[in-house]
Chains A and B, each alone.
Chain A
Amino acid sequence: MSVSNMLENWSKFRHMHPVDDKPHEEYKWAMSIDLDACSGCNACSVACYAENNLPVVGKQKFDAGQQMHWMRIERYWDDDGREFPDQGAQFLPMLCQQCEAAPCETVCPVGATNHTADGLNSQVYNRCIGSRYCSANCPFKVRYFNWYDYPTTDNVWPAEMTQQLNPDVTVRGKGVMEKCTFCVQRLERAKNNARTEGRLVHDGEVQTACQQACPTGAITFGNLVEPESKIARQWAHQQVELAARDKQAKDEQEGGSDLRGYRIFEELRAYPSVMYLERVRESAI
């Protein structure tokens, strides 16, 4: 409470990153998205709306760029000026990358966005004053701001629609920043259940809403600390390291390696917790 106390314990106030002297202990939630399996169908995005009480902003506000999809499916075309995209489109589900060295966390004036002990980039709605500095500093632009008071003045959930709202997730009022939480409400429930039974959360015991919906199972989610979990094995196989000091194994090889795993903007050293697996296209046709 006192200033002297604060100064004495300074290092403990904001020190949740996995530095060498303090690695993740029980959990480090991470995700991988296989772009070869992703069909771009948008099921994950709608599931996210359902799970996380995301407001539907309507045409006008969508036009103004104020849409609130925590999970957005991006569609890219080849840039090589071919007449037809004869190798199809590229789809990329983009969500908060839950960076280990998150650019958003350091800049928040009130500390409303923090790193949790299990490696999530948390957003404390009650603490947020809406300076939007976090969004300004996010390389992926996956933070969404409540430009309007969606539940009240905007009446996004009229009449019975409110009954659909997930009571485990806050309905955000105007002026706060929000973003993908890796479905933290599901994680907490699973952790509590595990704790009650005196164990850790099993691999596959908890799914994020997007992962659960994904028809092609392109999304894998789990605990990176547990070496036998699917996610840890995936990361290990692709030789992607969470806090690689410089480059990933894939980037170091001349001409690229035969691995598929990569993270977006590796060079910015934000150390994202989401690994993407390259889309593959048949060379024989």
Chain B
Amino acid sequence: MIENSFNRRDFLKVLGWGGTAVALSACGNTSIQDGVETVVSYVELPEYAIPGISVYFNSTCAQCDAGCNITGRLREGRVLKLEGNASSDLNHGKMCGLGQAGVQAHYNPDRVREPLLRNGDKGEAIAWDKALGLINEKLAGVKGEEIAFLTGGVSGHVKVLLNNYLEALGTKNHYSYEAVSPSVVRAANKKAYGVEMPRLRIDKAKVIVSFGADFLGAWVSPVHFAQQYAKFRKANENGRGVLVQIESKMTLTGANADRWIPIRPGTEGIFALGVVNALGSAGLALPADIAAVSKSYDAERVTKDTGVSGEQVTKLAALLKERSPSLVIAGSAAEGYAHGSQNAAAIALLNRVLGNVGKTIEAPASVPFPQVTVSTGNRSAVQALNDSMTNGKVKVLFSLGANPVFTAPSALKFKENLSKVPFKVVFANFLDETALEADLVLPLDSALEDWGTSVPEYMGEASQLNITQPLMEKLHPNTRGMGDILLSLLKQRREKEYKDYEDFYSYLRSAIVKNKSALGGNGEDDDTFWTAALSTGMVHFTSAANSLSAKSSAAGLVLPPPAEEDSAYPLHLIPQVTASMRDGRNANQPWLQESPDPLTTIVWDSWVELHPKTAAKLGIVEGDIVEVTSRSGSIKAQAYLFPGIHPDAVSVPLGYGHVALGRWAKGVGANAFGILDQVVDKETGELALNETRVKISKTGKRVFIVKDEGAVGGSQAGVKIAVRASTDEVELSGEV
């Protein structure tokens, strides 16, 4: 030890001066700023609120619809951070950036704090009693079919109450709308496998061929898939998995592929049949119906139609034949066309040919209570609602968790039609574009303050009911949970039925405890069961095994030829769904705005991705402000030269360009939803996201793109930084 010459006398001296200093500083001049903070000691220490000790509560992530199980870390009664719930089947303790930002939705200073009633252009704060009374009043004399309820994907007990309320109102008009959802693929899956969303065993596959499914980024349940992907990549008994991604615009998943194949937009189905044909030529026995459909798709035709070399097709077929089981996934790139359903059906054939159904495509765990399963949203719902509104058939509209004014294509003129509805109630955390049009805005609790349950659409091993519970006390006294609001509304109608439930919590508890035998709590004491459910943040359904019906047939499958050239609008617009922004509902969370887009590293703005070749042709350089014009409208954004895109396509991220939603979202970027053409998938009636044709023109302005990558872009300039090896150069087995 180092000798210290600090002796007792010195110590006393210091103590003396220090003591004086403390005494002086106690005279009003403390470290607590006057009026800014107060320190009040607990008279009685609340349970689990030991100063300096973190406590953890489990709940459910509400940032997207994947429904990951989360653990909130609390200190002194405040949520600090969200972690993945380690006992979850879905996300196994992991979390994405979007989920992490959930705390910023909760603490966001732009939250709605009071019920607001429209008074001219302003919202006037009113009391809850008055607000709920007003709803009752406005509903009086309105026929059931003139009431509409618009939601996002909704499940769990809120859905139960919602349905009961709709029933009490005598309406069936529940529109479940999601601006970006795999709804065409759902329909195709239903046809091919008998279920909307089968369980994809990425971890079991040796080869994955993904047609634009961004399962590592923003598709269905990315955190769950990412963990399967990690297993898939490990050199385990299956060997290291090979990922082939076929899409016109590179997604995050495409950026992680062993082979990324740029394809002419819309020809995914042709490519799939080409691979089927090549598999047949390679000696794989094809069922007769499939062989009949695929036989004309020889290498030459595929190359001509898709722009992918025949050699590539042959190589892929050889790989698929050699390594089994594989997994073929149809994603949003394939489904976003007028022939999206055919594309998805053609891709599904590949799985049948390769014998993947039952091996890497499994039946999902079933949920014994259909009333709580998710009513998945789609894009045709908003069209249906829009039609009703246009005809003046909607007198009262409720809206929860959807923002169609922002996300609906401008061709629908949704905002205009919305104004034809005499009374519009929006339940919202933030004043988004739709809430701004409302007559009454009811402020919701944040997902970290509210009670609730949900059933994720995509589940792991077993089906589960996720529990959302308050991680902390309400930040704002005048917000309410959606369940509580629905309960109050129901009490207006069915007083007798619901009078026993003081609040949504008591309803929830009794509803779950009542069914504990089906929830794995057979024979348990009510309190024990309930406490255990809350502490794990989920309950599992005991359910019968589901089964797939592999009935995908090639009969009637007709693929249109590649899209004709359009000289007025020569480029395909591929709106991209980024992992952070999705449909834009989280754009007001600054972490997400500041977190660089993984592929372009751009922050705080929209951009237009162009292949350098296309850009050169148009004379565009990076940072040029370009105007992207479709038949439905135009936006202006900065051009970014991006090698991972087909030269016939341009890509613009969705979710930017809010005109409301608070300080961090408003005015950032341009809204690409607005310029989408109203073209729908012929079978499902879903808006075909990738069917919009655009032209690009320079505006003459140029900016420095605000991005994380430096002046040399993605080059390593000959320095060994991020190194890549090919599989024959490294020995992966035996790795720790």
Contacts and interface: CB of A to CB of B under 8 A. Distances in A.
Do the two chains belong together in a single complex?
yes
Contacts of B391: none
B595 A39 contact: no
A258 B729 contact: yes
Contacts of B297: none
Contact of A91 (B3, B255, B590, B734): B255
Given A41-B217, A56-B590, A216 B475 contact: no
Interface string B136-169: 0000000000000000000000000000000000
B724 A280 contact: yes
Interface string A126-154: 00000000000000000000000000000
B284 to A, nearest CB: 17
Contacts of B315: 284-285
A215 B94 contact: yes
Given A46-B591, A59-B668, A83-B613, 13 more contacts: A40-B255, A40-B256, A46-B100, A56-B591, A85-B250, A167-B75, A213-B100, A215-B91, A216-B229, A237-B735, A279-B724, A281-B724, A284-B319
A270 interface: no
Interface string B232-248: 01000000101011000
A50 B103 contact: yes
A176 interface: no
A164 B6 contact: no
Contact of A216 (B227, B250, B595, B599): B227
Interface stretch (A19-27, A74-82, A108-116, A241-249): A74-82
Nearest to B100: A46
Contact of B260 (A1, A58, A86): A86
Interface of B: 2-6, 52, 75-76, 78-84, 91, 93-101, 103-104, 107-109, 216-217, 222-223, 226-227, 229-230, 233, 240, 242, 244-245, 250, 252-262, 315-316, 319, 475, 579-580, 590-596, 598-599, 601, 603-605, 613, 643-644, 668, 704, 706, 708-709, 713-718, 720-732, 734-736
A101 interface: no
A215 B256 CA distance: 14
Given A39-B256, A57-B594, A50 B81 contact: yes
Contact of B2 (A9, A282, A283): A9
B724 A87 contact: yes
A38 to B, nearest CB: 8
A282 B227 contact: no
A164 B79 contact: yes
Interface in A155-175: 158-161, 163-167
Contact of B724 (A167, A209, A278): A278
Contact of B730 (A41, A50, A216, A280): A280
Contacts of A50: 80-82, 100-101, 103, 591
Contact of B230 (A49, A76, A87, A217): A217
A72 interface: yes
A254 interface: no
A280 B594 contact: no
A255 to B, nearest CB: 9
A92 interface: yes
A56 B714 contact: no
A41 B223 CA distance: 10
A58 B52 CA distance: 31
B104 A76 contact: no
Interface string A195-211: 00000000000000100
Contacts of B99: 43
Contacts of A230: 736
B237 to A, nearest CB: 18
A230 B720 CA distance: 26
Contacts of A82: 643
B723 A59 contact: no
B603 A281 contact: no
Contacts of A2: 5
